[in-house]
Structures are given as structure tokens and as C-alpha cells.
Structure 1
């Protein structure tokens, strides 16, 4: 019977445990060394898990078979608690022991303590003692080696997307899995608030660091107001791209990480994510608010449109990240407020731009009747507005435009949209202002050259810009091309009627060929000399006038030639008794002189 009993499984296990304890007790020079040996042996056989030190091992062996390891009962649990307590104590007190035992063994010890904490004060105390180490582990993992995100200076003109996947944000997948393992134990132990505090602190700092790499930084309103335009322009441009990256990569990744770490407590996870994201989101919105309330300079409009479009683009994504009526309502309200402020800024900036056009009061005429700088500026401005017409339709609504009746006559459905009416009104203000500017010129012919130059530029820019052409319509283009022809006619009348009717006339007063079959009378010397003087003056003046567009310049020369050359040919055809004395210019010379007109370089004819 003794032989059979000794051969039983329980007896064999007892002998293994006893032998192991004897070896450890014989070789160990200290209690810590003994514990280290027990831990080493346990890696070969789980039955050798260090349930006790050599000293307690003797006591365990003396306590009878009911309390022996592997036999169950209170004795076994007490040994497990004692072992867990010892591992926790050693790792907490000695960094070298912590390195020897390793984090996984520490977590197994915590598991044992948590399992018994509900009915053992000793186990509960061990769990409590383990929490600082677990908190530090969570903090270390959440702050370790974040993946770098950045937008280079070359990326700000493109819809740049950071390279990191939204999964886990800037945290590596391995680190995220480790955090979850530690967090699960803290949550099971009832230390959710402590976990939340550590988690929020670490991830809030990591998120702020990553957002800063994308160009998101805290800027006070006073700084924005004082900022030079070149610096502010760069910041506004970067913000428009960074807000998309922050919402769709950083915050989306943080939400996924939160969901994973707090899988067993979703409500706490939602609260933690809101706390992590709050500072970053408010910092993003703070810059946009500062831009919105700063001076509404016209040069800021295009960048403000970009910021408005970027924020409204990510608005649904941002609001969807938050759960719970409280958090979602808070962030939705903050975003909506900023969107409204940016929209209000856009409306007032456009309105003030119209006032600036109307109130422009410089009294300096542009040399040679060239295109006025204001015309170029306004057309560039309107072109940018046209490119964002969808956004402007939302922002403007029915505000600030009063020419709906004109819109119905343009033959284009887009012409009735708020953006189309806005652009049409700005161009109308511009053309009225150019009409006022034309009065700065004393010469009526130059007044019409100036008006022609500016209107032709407007029409060409509208024709060449698909968004502008679509918004204003072909009827608008036809009407204004007709106006250009009217300015041309007015120019010809103002500049050439006197020459044609006074100096290149027949004796009967007509400025055309003599009737067929009639002999022409000799021209009057006074008429020839008068034409010479008049043409010299016109040549001096109109070579200094500038018609910027080559096609328009050629059209004007042709229009002048069609009136002047036939009349001069007829004038010469009448004959003269003293052609050398009075006729200084041949027909060919006159045609060549015409090629110098409207080049903006004054020239002189010396006869």
C-alpha cells in the first residue's frame, strides 16, 4: 500500500515540489536569491511557480497534505496571495528585480491578487500596492515612440495627408495592445478613475505634440491682430490642411485607441476621449476664431474661405467622433459657432470690399489710359470668389445683393445664385468707378481708350475663366462686348471727326472722293497745312496712349485706318499746285505712322 501511495500523482507532485524547495534552500544565500531561483525553476514547470519563499516553504510542508501546493483549499490560495504579494513588493522596491521578473510575470501576480481581493484584505492591499507601477507602465506606453506626423512647407498647397494610419493614432499597435493589457487589470481592480487620469494626461500631451508638428499651435487674438500678413497667410494656409489631418488622422486614431483600451468600460472611454481631444479641438477653433474677429482685410478673404471650407468639410467627421449628448453637444456647438463666425467674416469682408471699390478716391490718372490697377485687383478677387461659388452661395444666402431683376435677363441659371449676384454687383461697382476715373483725362478720345482698356480686360477675364463665365452668363458677355464697340465709336468720333471733316474735305465740305466723272479741284493750301499740324499732334498724343491687349490694339488701328486712309487718299487725289510745299506725308507714310499708335511710347513727326 505504501508503494502504491507513493506512486500516486499527488505523491509525485509533492516529491517534485519538495525536491525543488530543498535545492533552493541549500543553494540560496538570501531570501531574494531563493525567490529568484524559484522563479527560474517555474519557467520549466508551472507547478514550480514561486508560491512561497524557502522559509515559508518549510512551514507549508509541515502544515499537512491538505495545505500542500496543488491540493486546493485556503492554504493554496494564501500561498498564491503571498507569492503575488512578494512579486509586487519586490518589483516595486527594486528596479533590478523588476527587470529580472518582467512585466508579464508582474501582471500575472496582479491577476492573482485581483482574483482574491474580493475576500482577502491582504490581496486587496497587494492590488493597491501594484497600482502605481501599473499607472507608470500605462504612462510610459502611451508616451513611447510616437510615430511622427508633419506637413512640410511643400505640402501646404496640397491636400496633404500624414503618413500614419488612423489606427491607434500616433501609437504603435504593439504599444496599444500592451496598454490594453494593463488597463484591463486596472479596470477589473476598480481603479478606473486612476487609469483615466493617467490616460488623459499622457494622450493629451502626445496629441498636442503631434498637432504641433502639423502646425497647430496656441495663438492669442492679440498675436493674430499684430501679425504681419505674410506670416498670417502662411499660418492660415497650413491650418486649412492641418485641420483635416488632425480630425481624420489624429483624433480618429485617438478614438480607436480609446475604444480598444476601454473596451470593458465604454462610458469611461468616451469621457476620456472627450478630455483628450478637448484641448486640441479648442486650440484649432481658437485660431479660426482669432482670424474671424481680427481686421477684415480684403487680402484675407481667400484664406478665410479656405478655412471655412476646411472646417465645414470635417465638421460631420468631428462631431461623429464624440459619444454622449453632453460631449457631442459641446463640440458641435463650438464648431458651429466658429463656422458661423468665419461665415460672418466672409460676408462683411465682401461687403467692405464693395465699399472700398465705391469709395476709392485717388485722383491720379493712369498713364496712357492703361488698365487701372484696381481693375486687375477686382478681377483677381472675383476670380477667387467664383472658384468658391458653392461656399459663397451658402455663406451669402440672400444677403447684400439687390440686382435680382438683372439676373433674370442673363439667360443663365447660375446667374441668379447669391455668388453670381455678388460678383456681378462688384463688377458693376468697378465699371462705374472706371467711368468716374475716365474724367481725370482731359482728352475725350483718351477717356474712351481708358474705358475700352478696362472693360475689354474685364470681358476677357470673364471669358477665359470657366467659373466666372458660368456664373455671369453669355448674355452678360455679349452686352459688355457691345459696350466696348460703343467706346470704340466714341473714341473715333472724339479723335478723328475734326481731322476728317475740317482738313480732309472737298471744296464742297465733304471728306470723301469726288463724284465719278468730275475733275477734282485743287486742295487749299490751308487745308493741307492744317492736316499736317493736326496729324502731328494726334501722332504725338496717340503714340503715348497705351492699348494693352494686342488684339484690341490692332482692331483700333484698323478702325482708324478704315476712316483715315480713304479720306486722305481722296484728299491727295484732288491734285495740288504745290504738293511739295503743303503735302508732307505720302499715303504709305501715313499707313506706317499708324503702326506706332497705342504703344505707350510718345513719338514725334518732324516735317
Structure 2
């Protein structure tokens, strides 16, 4: 609220009160040969003087203590009508080259009227702060309907307009509507009478205090670059969340409501609307829209901060049409420019942070192999990160739209999992995701070499690639990478699993002859059983320490191993068990029944579903 000094300044009289105490009729024109304009002036002066002087804040009790518009709305409109008629007649006198002496009386009366309206304007703005708060105003679709119209309608057919206004009031029964209409009526009268500066000053002081208070209540603060740089990230995250909440309220309610009110009150003048709205909102809007740029430029860059900056980018982007509409004046272009600059700086931060993320993946120095060929921590960290990142695919599409794709000459395009064709290249955001996953897979391929056992290498690759595929299938990565990418990598998982079987269980499978006639003597049969016992026992002991966390992959591998071993062994066992039963020490020779083999395979690969 403006202070007492402001109030006294706004309402300091331009003419002394002693002048007002005498009747203005002594300025009446000489009856000798009056012109048409002089005759009209005499008539308007006689009509306007009682109405205006009644509400002179300097000379009458009612003028000092009573609000004209609150006291009697019909009388208030009569007052406006009298001032408008007086102003028109004064203009007519000027065009007739009348002497300044003939304008003295109407000028004095006009000054009194303007003081009254200036006071009314201030009182309505001050007393209706609650009714004119941005939330109340922003619910009204008054901007388009009010801009371009004028209260000249009141002058042309006052009775009809009063009737329409009363009907609207009776329907809406809203104090904010009444206040807005009164403010508009006063503003247009003062502007047309040459008192725009006084009207604007009062409006700017009061409305800026309301906007500034709103920004303060939204906890929007101005930080220096040094403050942001030194701020703990957890604290800054809270500030960012608070900023996101403030942005929505500020755009949809605070600034939008202020724009609607300003457009309505000063509908008759584009330049006044622009000047008032800009001065009222610029400071708060620049602080609000400048915060993301400050964070992007002065935060210590790291991949884990990307999501909060994407949230800020999303906030501005989601409200851009509203921002562009609200701040559409030429004078407010710096505000839109600040919002756009913040978007650019946020995008640059995300670009750089993703490059840092890729470097971090490629520089991972963990050398200890994961027990049992299980999921590497790098795989879970990268894929969890990328699956969350994919939730921002729309925003990333904007940020990465101008990013150059990886040079096709440096590697086969199919390495990314996309068709090696120029017909329909993948969008930049899809290429970026595929590229980051490729960086992970290359690193995993190198880490597989830390296993001395070849079968474990392939199981490690199968487990980790299956984890990657599963994460893609259950996140928005699925839509970014597409069915072709998934099919290619699912096929690779099967290849890794097949290689694991060949190296881990090949000796067991090869120990059983596919041709039963090859075992034609008890000695050969005994050798085959012993070889199977040894190879199966060794494979089982080694592979039982392996883990396959993904349920389907685990079941598929066990089923595949069982299909390759059980039928052949069952057939061989059924064909030669009687021969071995008659042989000496048959118990030590035939150690596994077919059911035992199936059971051993079925309980392998402990692990939980990922």
C-alpha cells in the first residue's frame, strides 16, 4: 500500500480552496454576440457546476468524507457525463480560437472534477484490493471483450448502458465487476480530459504493490550468481520446486489477472495499457523468469541435476503460450526474452550434463567381476537414469532438436539398433538414448573379459542385456527406440544365452551319443555313463553358482538346457540301464536317473525377478 506521502501527493490541489468557495458564475460570458460554442459552454457550465462542486473534496463535507461511486452509482455516472460534456465544449471553444479568459471557468471546474475522480480512482483501487486480486480478476474473460470498446456508449445512450450494466450486475453479483467498471469509467474520463498521467500514477503505485506482494507470497526471491553457486544442492532443489509452484500461479493468476484488469481499465488507450502493465509486472516477472538461467549458469554441473532443470524447462515451455499472450506488448519484450534465455541456458546445461553422463559411463573403472555373472551396478544405474530421462522425451526433443547426429562414417549405423538406412532417420532424442545405451553395452562388453570362464562371460552379457531390454520395454524408452531396436537386442540376448549353453554345457551334451548303436558293448556303455557323470557333475557345480535374475530368461535357459540333455540321456538310460544293472559296481556307474538330471537343472540359477 502506498504511504501517506503518496496519498497527499496524488491529491494536492491545483487550485486554492478559496477559489472553489465562490461561485464560478462570475466567469460567465458577455451576452454581446455570443458564439455557438460560447452558448453551449454557458449551458454546460450551468449544468455541470452544481454536480461537480457538490463533490469538491476541498470545499464540501460530503466531498471530503463520502465516496461518490459508493454513495450513488447513478449520481456518479451523472458526474462523469457532466465532465465529458464540459470537456467536449472546452475542445469546441479551443477550435473556435476563443481567448483564454473564456476558458478560465471551465478549466477551474475541470480541475476540481479531476481531483474528485483521482480520489475516487484511488479509493476504489484501495478499498477493493480483495475484490481486485488477480485470482478474482483472472477468472473473467474480459480482456478480449473489453479491449477496443469505449465508455462513449454511456455518453451516447446512458440509460441503455445503465440498464445493461445493472442487468450484468444482477446476474453476476460480483463486487470485482463493479469495481472494474467504475475504474474503467473514471480512467477513460480522466484520459480524455488530459489527466492520463495522474490516473496512471495512482494505478501503477497501487497495482505494483499488489503484484510485488504476490511475488513475495509465492516465495520468489532474487539470488545472486554467487548465492546459487554456493547453495547446497538439496536446498536448491527445494527452491526449484517452490519456483515451479510459483510459476504456475504467477502466470495463470497473478500476471494474467493483472493483464486482464489493466486491459479493461485502460481499454481506450493501447499505450497506457502497455506502460502501466509493463511497469507493474516487469520487476517481479524478471525475477521469476530469470531464476532458471541463474541456476543453469551457476550450478555445479552433474547428470543427477538434469531432472530438476528439465522440470524448470518444462514449466516455462508448458506455459509459453500464456507467457507470450500476457506479455505481448512491445515494452514487455524483455520479459519474454528473459524467459527464452532461461530456456536456452537450461537446454545448454542438459546438453553438457548428458555428455558428462556418457563420459562417466565410459570411464567407469570397476574391474571386479559380478558374482555368478549377475547384473552389474553400472547397468542398473544407467538404465534407471535413462528410463527416468525418457519421461522427459517431449522436452528432450526440443532441447536436442538441433543436435548433430553421430557421424555415420565413424561406426555402422546398425550398431545403434536402428535400420542402417537413410530413408527415415531416427529423431535426435532417440539417437541420443540409443547412443548412451551403446556406450553402456560397449563398457559391459569390456567388463565381461574380467571373467576367466567363457561361459560366465556370455551369461554376464545375457543377464545385463536382458536387464537393458526389460527396462526399455517397461518405460518410455520403448517408444523412443521402437520395435526394431527391441527385436535386435532380444535376438542378441538369445545369442548370448546360446553361447553360454555351448560353453557351459557343451561337454555334457557331447557326452551323450545321439546314435545309440555306438554303445554296443558294456565297456563303451560304462565309459559313456562315467563321462556323463563327470561332465554333468562339473557343469552343475560350476553353473549352480550362476544367477539369472530375469525370470523368463532363467526359465528359457533352463528349458533349453533340459531339451538338449534330458531326452538323449533318458533314451540312453532306458536303453542300457539293464545292461549296467547286471554289471559289477553298476551303482557307481549309473549315478543319475533322468529324473535326477531334470531336478538338478530345474533348481539352478538362483535369483529374483528384476
Give, in angstroms, the shift of residue 556 of structure 1. Answer: 0.7
> Structure 1 residues 167, 240: CA separation in 2 closer, same or farther (over 3 Å shift)?
farther
Question: Residue in 2 aligned with 1:159?
Answer: none
String of CA shifts for 1:67-112, please: whole Å, max 9, x gaps.
xxxx96977776666544367643565x4x6699937567866876
Q: CA deviation at 1:350?
A: 1.8
> In the alignment, is the contact (CA less than 8 A) between 1:215 and 1:242 conserved in 2?
yes
The CA distance in 2 between the partners of 1:76 and 1:562, in whole Å, is 111
Shift of 1:412: 9.6
Between the two structures, name the one with larger relative contact order (CA 8 Å, sep ≥ 6). 2
What is the Cα deviation at residue 337 of structure 1?
Answer: 1.5
CA contact (8 A) 1:225 1:295 kept: yes
Q: What does residue 317 of structure 2 align with?
A: 312
User: Which of 417, 423, 432 is residue 422 of structure 1 equivalent to?
Assistant: 432
Match of 2:7 in 1: none
RMSD: 4.2
Tell me whether 1:102 sits opposite 2:71 in the alignment.
Answer: yes
| Alignment check: 8 A CA contact 1:401 1:425 kept | no
Written as runs of structure 1 = structure 2, the 5 A alignment for 1:441-452 is 441-452=451-462
Query: Which residue does the alignment assign to 1:7?
Result: none
Aligned mates of 1:148, 1:323 — CA distance in 2: 18
Could you tell me the TM-score, scaled by structure 2's length? 0.71
Question: For residue 552 of structure 1, what is the aligned residue in structure 2?
Answer: 553
Q: Give 1:68-467 correspondences, 5 Å limit.
A: 82-85=53-56, 89-90=60-61, 95=65, 102=71, 115=86, 119-120=104-105, 122-123=108-109, 126-127=112-113, 129-130=115-116, 133-134=119-120, 136-141=122-127, 143-145=129-131, 164-165=139-140, 167=142, 172-210=176-214, 216=220, 218=222, 221=225, 224-225=228-229, 232-233=236-237, 236=240, 239-240=243-244, 243-244=247-248, 246-293=250-297, 294-322=299-327, 324-325=329-330, 327-399=331-403, 401-404=405-408, 406=413, 409-410=419-420, 415-465=425-475
Equivalent residue, structure 2, for 1:481: 490
Partner of 1:401, secondary structure, is coil
> Structure 1, residues 425-457: CA drift from partner, whole Å, max 9, x if none?
111101111112223433322222111011122
Check the 8 A contact 1:410/1:474 in 2, yes or no.
no
SS, match of residue 488 in structure 1: helix
Deviations 1:388-412 (A, max 9, x none): 4444343223535315461673579
C-alpha deviation, 1:485, in angstroms: 2.4
In the aligned structure 2, how far is the partner of 1:146 from the partner of 1:78?
Answer: 33
CA contact (8 A) 1:83 1:109 kept: no
Q: Which has the larger radius of gyration?
A: 1
Deviation at 1:599, TM superposition (A): 1.1
Match of residue 591, structure 1, among 578, 584, 598: 598
2:482 is aligned with 1:496: no
Contact 1:258 1:269 in 2 (8 A): yes
Alpha-carbon spacing, 1:330–1:482, altered in 2? closer, same or farther (3 Å): same
Structure 1: 5+ residue runs without aligned partners?
Answer: 1-51, 60-70, 151-161, 506-510, 602-607
Is residue 47–residue 82 contact of structure 2 (8 Å, CA) maintained in 1? no
Partner of 2:10: none
Distance 1:240 1:330, change over 3 A: same
Q: State the Cα distance separating 1:269 from its structure 2 match.
A: 1.3
Q: What's 1:515 paired with? A: 517
Asked if 2 retains the 8 angstrom alpha-carbon contact of 1:446 and 1:491, the reply is: yes
Residue range with higher mean Cα deviation, 84-93 or 550-559: 84-93
Q: Secondary structure at the match of 2:194?
A: coil
Q: Is the 8 A contact 1:138 1:198 kept in 2?
A: no
Offset of residue 524 of structure 1: 5.5
Would the alpha carbon gap of residues 209 and 486 (structure 1) be closer, same or farther in structure 2, given more than 3 Å must change?
same
Quickly say closer, same or farther: Cα 1:566–1:302, change in 2 above 3 A.
Answer: same
For 1:73 and 1:592, the matched residues in 2 are separated by: 112
TM-score (norm 1): 0.71
In structure 1, how many angstroms separate the alpha carbons of the residues matched to 2:348 and 2:53?
68
Query: Distance between the aligned counterparts of 2:362 and 2:308, measured in 1?
Result: 24
Q: How many residues align?
A: 513
